[in-house]
Amino acid sequence: MRAEIAEGLRFVFGQPVLRAIALQGMTAVLFLGAQQAVLPPFLVRTVGLTAGTMGVLFSLGSLGAVAGAVLSAPLTRRIGQARAMIGYVLVATSCALLPPLTGTGWRLGFFVVGTMVMQGFIVAFNIVQLSYRQTICPDRLLGRMNATMRFVMWGPMPVGGLLGGVLGTALGLRTTMWIVAVGLGLPVLWLVFSPVGTAAWRGTGLEEAGGLGERTDRDQAEHVPVGGVPVDGVGLGDGVAVPVEQSEHGAGVPGQRHQVDGAVGGAQRLADGGGVLVDGGLQAGVAQGGDETVDTDAGHELVEDGVGGENPG
């Protein structure tokens, strides 16, 4: 368990974009925790709302989250992933300045507009960053990566609630709301001073600015000695040398057919001393797909079953 936790931490903090997203979320959640702690007493005691009115306002604010979920994908395709990440956070945190202005009458509009826009762009940002995380992470690390991100990003929530209670008691509820609003504007700096900011400034993709834009293990196969069996699960794209099963007529005889079990999806097959190097997916030597048939003839191996072509031995 400790080894898996350590592997998740190494992956997240070793990838510059994931590290920036994690630190941005951690800082933002700290201030959001403080805001949630003081917001209900602020609306009831300072503004003078009833519990029913406060519930209606919260419901109206949540409509923004629905709009954000609908508009996130088309807007992100239009402006790009990096600019979307930074832009959505900037809009959301700017709207955090409106709820502290809330009062009776028409000033209730500050709360409604502020929470609607803020929640909408928070949801839009989360869709972008979650999609990016799923895109670049190897299959076998998805659980560890997501667990690490959630722990790092949501862990400060109780600390933020405690901070909000202390500040609200010491400085007053409206003053604390202003402090929280200003604090929510700081986390975006983690993104600005990272490959996300570089890509947004240049108008390029994240992979061109130092943040990988696709799963790295699709293209980087590790050569394992012939007959080697991985100790841990091998992710999609890891190269595994799989021994060729001998036919009843013997191995390595021209024209004889040998069965290779468990080779999945790889476009490259190499003959290497009686083995086949598979650029595909095996999990701890367990077959994930159907059988493939290999012809051995004069140092070449012809891979059939939908792959075709010859590879030099």
Helix (H) or strand (E) holding 26: helix 16-41
Please say if the pLDDT value at position 5 is more than 70.
yes
Q: Indicate the burial class of 165 (C-beta count within 10 angstroms; 0-12, 13-18, 19 or more).
A: middle
Helix (H) or strand (E) holding 179: helix 173-183
Please say if the pLDDT value at position 141 is more than 70.
yes
Q: What is the pTM of this model?
A: 0.67
Output the pLDDT for position 211.
Answer: 58
Question: What does residue 271 show for φ and ψ, rounded to 5 degrees?
Answer: -85, 130
Percent of the chain with pLDDT over 90: 59
Predicted confidence band of residue 204 (pLDDT cuts 50, 70, 90): confident
Q: CA-based angle 255:258:264, to the nearest 5?
A: 130
CATH 3.40.50.300 matches 2-216: no
Output the pLDDT for position 209.
Answer: 63
In tens, the pLDDT along 104-138 reads: 999 999 999 999 999 999 999 999 999 999 988 99
Predicted confidence band of residue 212 (pLDDT cuts 50, 70, 90): low
**DSSP assignment letter at 244:** P
The domain spans of the chain are 2-216, 221-313
In tens, the pLDDT along 48-103 reads: 999 999 999 999 988 999 999 999 999 999 999 999 999 999 999 999 999 999 99
Question: What does residue 126 show for φ and ψ, rounded to 5 degrees?
Answer: -65, -35
Amino acid identity of residue 208, one-letter, is E
183-195 CB burial, b ≥16 within 10 A, e <16: bbbebbebbbebb
In tens, the pLDDT along 213-267 reads: 445 444 443 333 333 334 344 333 343 333 434 444 444 444 444 443 443 334 3
Please say if the pLDDT value at position 142 is more than 70.
yes
Under the phi-then-psi rule, with left for phi > 0, alpha for psi from -120 to 50, and beta for the rest, what region is 299?
A: left
Q: What's the mean per-residue pLDDT of the chain? A: 76
- Cβ(278)–Cβ(267) under 8 Å? no
